[in-house]
Structure 1
Amino acid sequence: MTIAIGCDHAGFPYKTAIIKLLQARDITVIDHGTTSPDSVDYPDFVHPAADDVEAGRARFAILLCGSGNGVA
């Protein structure tokens, strides 16, 4: 199974932990970032993850931001 993941700066600490958990269960992860806690705009990172699901490259996407409203 492949899961895409993307987040803004607020979701970054959670994303790192989630990726470790998924990889420990032999799940392939496509990481779209962000790669640091520096401030970024969530669309730059969550839209590519959603595109992976739409294109069939990933079965699911995990999208993280500060409130959940933006990525919804």
Structure 2
Amino acid sequence: MSVTNAWLTLIALSIGSTILAHFGAAGIFASLAILTLAWIKAQVILRVYLGLQNAPSWGRGFGMVLAIYMIGIMGLAVAAS
């Protein structure tokens, strides 16, 4: 993925998060959807902007840490609802 495509992807995901948050999406499903979009954005940043697509083992390591963190945050969101 090129830097331009990554930037466009990040913009689209940000718009999606904003639309979900602004136009009345409420409840746990909206929270999980917004967190999922944030997770995807973080993966794009790690792979393209930090260059981890060129270092697969480092990318997997950072991806696992990110996955554990996001699953924990999603669990807290479900527990709080």
TM range (shorter): 0.3 to 0.5
- Asked which structure has the greater CA Rg, the reply is 2
Q: TM-score, normalised by structure 2?
A: 0.36
More helix by share: 2
More strand by share: 1
Q: TM-score, normalised by structure 1?
A: 0.39
